[in-house]
């Protein structure tokens, strides 16, 4: 056996197994009241050979923006109850895929960001914490922000910074991702991009667009664990810059092409991106035109430090930059936030890129990089996309 073969064998032993039955680990949630949801769900089921499909019926969030938010009582009746019943008899599920047409936000949940006295959580992140309340050792985090009328709540993500494959049996909860975008075509493209990257990976580069006006921080301290279970302030903004710088040094070490930009310019007009991390519209020199000029290769992943980049999948005429723009521009996976996440929740570029480029799935990579579940996070893309295996 030559050196290359030995390396490949060791890599396969260390990484999540590429099993022919991985489709049995996936559950797709389809809203039968939404033609879009049915089309996206059936497309994914066909391409990934998934047989586990949960049919629910609720208001079609692809039809109008107000339907993207569902009240807790309605969610419990129309989504959680059938889901709980399904999971009781399907214990092999590790990944859950929600589809365009399924609401993105739960209002009045016992978890989430406190907005005007009402807690709001991402529906997907709420599902990711499914069963955490029954897990021995699960840690609840309280957000006691000075300007909030009531505290917010989330669970510490038990998969944070993990270096082994995810299973529900080992870690609890589920890795939940969403196939969504401005249009049905955008939602369908996520699976197509994942499959294209797996069949033929094109070399590109990672763009790390630092906003130096926020300070560069201590790269040796990143990625950092949570300091405690009560959060009273957002983490220092220079910490995420430091994480991007740390990610850059790791990419250089691995000889992965990247561009670390420390200038005041918000970088645009870039093509062939395989990874993208920036401050989005929180950058002091943000340019919408530059943001919308970015183009991604199949397999690319991203996160932006934007509080509400995932607030909707309808085009917005004002407000913060949207992750749906990146989907329309060809990204394969991206993490965003339906409501205020605080900087502590934004994915660590160092962890996300390390896991993904080492052969972990898209869902494993972005969840391993994230501190919370039951919060405001929303992860877009095919959960088992794995172009670097």
- pLDDT tens per residue across span 276-309: 999 999 999 999 999 999 999 999 999 999 999 9
pTM for this entry? 0.93
Residue ranges making up the domain that contains 207: 184-380
- Helix 184-199 vs helix 35-48: crossing angle, to nearest 10: 10
Average pLDDT for the chain: 94
Q: Do 172 and 254 have their domain in common?
A: no
User: Which pLDDT band holds residue 5 (cuts at 50, 70, 90)?
Assistant: very low
| Boundary (domain end) residue, out of 126, 148, 179 | 179
pLDDT for 245 = 98
Do 242 and 169 share a domain, yes or no? no
> Would you say residue 386 lies in a domain?
no
Residues 166 and 188 in one domain: no
- Is 25 part of a structural domain of the chain? yes
Question: Are 365 and 31 spatial neighbours (Cβ–Cβ below 8 Å)?
Answer: no
Q: Token pair for residue 108? A: 């009045």
**For range 16-43, the mean pLDDT:** 86
Last residue of a domain, one of 138, 162, 179: 179
Last residue of a domain, one of 147, 164, 179: 179
Query: Do 145 and 9 belong to one domain?
Result: yes
Shared domain for 305 and 322, answered yes or no, is: yes
Cα–Cα distance measured from residue 33 to residue 56, given in angstroms and rounded to the nearest whole number: 8
Residue 15 has pLDDT above 50, yes or no: no
CA distance 50 to 292: 34
Q: What is the pLDDT of residue 116?
A: 79
Does some domain include residue 87? Answer: yes
Looking at residue 21, its pLDDT comes to 78
- Residue 366 counted as domain residue: yes
Number of domains in the chain: 2
What is the reported pLDDT for 389? 86
Does residue 275 lie within any of the structural domains? yes
Q: Give the confidence band of 126 by pLDDT, cuts at 50, 70, 90.
A: very high
**Do 222 and 240 fall into the same domain?**
yes
Residues 73 and 152: beta-carbon distance below 8 Å: no
Rounded average pLDDT over 322-345: 97
Q: Is residue 117 part of a domain?
A: yes
Q: Of all residues in the chain, what percent carry a pLDDT higher than 90? A: 91
Domain check: are 165 and 196 in the same one? no
Lowest mean pLDDT among 63-67, 173-177, 225-229: 225-229
Under 8 Å between Cβ of 349 and 242:
no
């Amino acid at each position: 056996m030559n050196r290359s073969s030995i390396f490949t064998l060791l890599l396969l032993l260390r990484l999540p197994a590429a099993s022919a039955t991985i489709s049995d680990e996936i559950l797709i949630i389809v809203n039968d009241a939404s033609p879009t949801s049915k089309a996206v769900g059936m497309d994914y089921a066909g391409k990934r050979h998934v047989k586990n499909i949960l049919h629910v019926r609720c208001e079609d969030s692809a039809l109008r923006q107000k339907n993207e938010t569902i009240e807790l009582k309605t969610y419990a009746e129309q989504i959680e109850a059938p889901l709980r019943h399904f999971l009781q008899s399907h214990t092999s599920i590790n990944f859950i895929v929600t589809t365009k047409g399924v609401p993105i936000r739960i209002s009045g949940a016992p978890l989430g960001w406190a907005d005007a006295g009402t807690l709001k959580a991402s529906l997907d992140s709420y599902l990711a914490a499914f069963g955490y309340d029954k897990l021995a050792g699960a840690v609840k985090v309280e957000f006691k922000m000075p300007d909030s009328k009531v505290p917010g709540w989330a669970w510490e993500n038990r998969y944070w910074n993990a270096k082994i494959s995810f299973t529900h049996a080992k870690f609890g909860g589920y890795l939940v991702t969403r196939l969504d975008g401005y249009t049905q075509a955008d939602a369908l493209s996520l699976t197509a991009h994942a499959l294209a990257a797996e069949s033929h990976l094109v070399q590109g580069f990672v763009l790390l667009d630092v906003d130096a006006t926020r300070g560069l921080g201590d790269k040796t301290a990143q990625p950092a664990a949570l300091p405690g279970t009560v959060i009273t302030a957002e983490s220092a903004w220079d910490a995420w810059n430091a994480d991007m710088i740390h990610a850059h040094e790791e990419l250089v070490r691995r000889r992965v092409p990247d561009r670390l930009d420390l200038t005041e310019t918000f970088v645009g007009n870039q093509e062939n991106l395989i990874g993208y991390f920036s401050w989005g519209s929180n950058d002091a020199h943000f340019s919408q035109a530059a943001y919308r000029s970015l183009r991604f290769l199949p397999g690319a992943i991203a996160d932006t430090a934007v509080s509400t980049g995932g607030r909707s999948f309808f085009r917005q005429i004002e407000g913060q930059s949207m992750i749906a723009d990146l989907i329309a521009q060809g990204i394969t996976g991206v993490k965003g936030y339906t409501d205020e996440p605080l900087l502590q929740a934004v994915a660590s570029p160092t962890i996300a890129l390390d896991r993904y480029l080492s052969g972990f799935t898209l869902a494993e990579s972005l969840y391993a990089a994230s501190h919370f579940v039951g919060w405001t996070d929303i992860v877009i893309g095919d959960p088992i996309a794995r172009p670097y295996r």
